[in-house]
Amino acid sequence: MRLLRALLRGASPGSIPQQVDFYSRFSPSPLSMKQFLDFGSENACEKTSFMFLRQELPVRLANIMKEISLLPDNLLRTPSVQLVQSWYVQSLQEILDFKDKSSEDSGAIHSFTDTVIKIRNRHNDVIPTMAQGVVEYKESFGIDPVTSQNVQYFLDRFYMSRISIRMLLNQHSLLFGGKINPAHPKHIGSIDPSCNVVEVIRDGYESAKTLCDLYYMSSPELILEELNAKSPGQPMQVVYVPSHLYHMVFELFKNAMRATMEHNADRCIYPPIHVHITLGNEDLTVKMRDRGGGVPMRKIDRLFNYMYSTAPRPRVETSRATPLAGFGYGLPISRLYAQYFQGDLKLYSLEGYGTDAVIYIKALSTDSIERLPVYNKAAWKHYKANHEADDWCVPSSEPKDMTTFRSI
């Protein structure tokens, strides 16, 4: 709390609250994968990126900062949420320091790139730190249905905003930060123009398999099938961010392996995990099927609920720790990665048998457009609306005693 107040007091005379109000009046400008690709491959100009980011980053930061301020007061007072707020205030101030710098000043542009890298590193632990704040709030005050619904709405938007801001920071720092990844020389920033989907999926499987072997001393095999309906006989390639796809499939493999190992522990025979990849004219679809016993239909939505995790309280250390270990955030964050470029992630379960997880990705780079939250009256109303009683009957847990009704 003291750090946040100090940052606000130390803000320049335009002051951060006024700047947040000003920039939140503008809507973020979503970019398509093709725009990211074209800029990096054909017109990679640090000056152009500088001019765009010094306008766009404050808009994206301010929009989500307005929504943070609408959270319950007791959640805002938690140390972890205060820390996250202080990071956003500091980052916004640092970007605004370049507002009046000349785009012809090479020193200012170089300094801006250093600032972008510093902001990216500062925000490395935003997700687990905000998650820790929710845990602190839940332990101290409990959760009611209205608060749970509002926090779910906020976290989906907050984490999606964070993904989008990090995408911009990564693109600028990777393109102009002076370091080229020798392992991926053809990448345009974090984007692979010819992302080999099968290769990324196998990498995700091998990483999950290593964890599974360490914990269970065994692991289910992978059976992978692919169908390129768009270009038969050609490799399965799309323009995509490999790290996003890897995050999704790694999380799904971990869940599928755990369910398979525990559901079939008595027989010590572990059915393989089937993955089917299909590339069509509009969609790339990855379907993962396990024989892990599935889950009841009523629990499917809970798997994507940030407030539902029953895992023990994790310890937040550094970004080098296992990501999100113990928070139960793997599936909801994976779904956001899929939705970020207009795709999706869905679960279909057969209780007693297993679960199908399906990832949808846009096959065309022109259709892969950022999905960004915007702060407006509709968003404000969501936090302020009084949630009235459901307009459907709620079944009683006990059957009604029909003997109490008598005929007249």
- At 156-191, the pLDDT tens digits run 999 999 999 999 999 999 999 877 666 777 899 999
Provide the pLDDT for residue 40: 84
Burial class from Cβ neighbours inside 10 Å (0-12, 13-18, 19+) for residue 386 reads: exposed
CA within 13 Å, CB half, 275: 23
Per-residue pLDDT reduced to its tens digit, 103-156? 999 999 999 999 999 999 999 999 999 999 999 999 999 888 888 999 999 999
Q: According to the model, what pLDDT value does residue 339 have?
A: 98
**Can you give the pLDDT at residue 388?**
61
Q: Tell me the pLDDT of the chain averaged across its residues.
A: 89
List pLDDT tens digits, range 64-107.
Answer: 999 999 999 999 999 999 999 999 999 999 999 999 999 999 99
Token code pair at residue 183: 């392992």
At 382, the pLDDT band (50, 70, 90 cuts) reads confident
Q: Over 50: is that where the pLDDT of 296 sits?
A: yes
pLDDT at position 3 over 50:
no
pLDDT of residue 185: 78
pLDDT higher than threshold 70 for residue 386: no
pLDDT in tens, 220-254: 999 999 999 999 999 999 999 999 999 999 999 99
Region for 172 from its dihedrals, namely left if φ exceeds 0, alpha if ψ lies in -120 to 50, beta otherwise: alpha
Please give the single-letter amino acid code of residue 367: D
Over range 29-36, report the average pLDDT: 96
- Please report which confidence band the pLDDT of residue 318 belongs to, taking 50, 70 and 90 as the band edges: very low
Residues 6+ apart with CB under 8 A from 51: 103
Mind listing the pLDDT tens digit for each residue in 252-286?
A: 999 999 999 999 999 989 999 999 999 999 999 99
The pLDDT value recorded for residue 392 is 83
8 Å CB contact between 204 and 196: no
Query: What pLDDT, on the 0 to 100 scale, is given for residue 8?
Result: 52
Of the two residues 356 and 320, the one the predictor is more confident about is: 356
Residue 223 is predicted with a pLDDT of 98
For residue 198, the model assigns a pLDDT of: 97
State the SS3 of the chain: CHHHHHHHHCCCCCCHHHHHHHHCCCCCCCCEHHHHHHHHHCCCCHHHHHHHHHHHHHHHHHHHHHHHCCCCHHHHCCHHHHHHHHHHHHHHHHHHCCCCCCCCCHHHHHHHHHHHHHHHHHHHHHHHHHHHHHHHHHHHHCCCHHHHHHHHHHHHHHHHHHHHHHHHHHHHHHHHCCCCCCCCCCCECCEEEEEEHHHHHHHHHHHHHHHHHHHHCCCCCEEEEEEECCCCCCCCEEEECHHHHHHHHHHHHHHHHHHHHHHCCCCCCCCCEEEEEEECCCEEEEEEECCCCCCCHHHCHHHHCCCCCCCCCCCCCCCCCCCCCCCCCHHHHHHHHHHHCCCEEEEEEECCCEEEEEEEEECCCCCCECCCCCCCHHHHHHHHCCCCCCCCCCCCCCCCCHHHCCCC
Q: What is the dihedral of CA 131, 135, 140, 141, to 10 degrees?
A: 80
In this prediction, residue 395 has a pLDDT band, given cuts at 50, 70 and 90, of confident
Distance CA(96)–CA(58), nearest Å, equals: 7
Tokens, residue 38: 């074209």
Report residue 82: phi and psi, to 5°.
-60, -40
pLDDT at 287: 98
Positions annotated as catalytic residues are 247, 251, 254-255
Q: Which of 48-52, 308-312, 325-329 has the lowest mean pLDDT?
A: 308-312
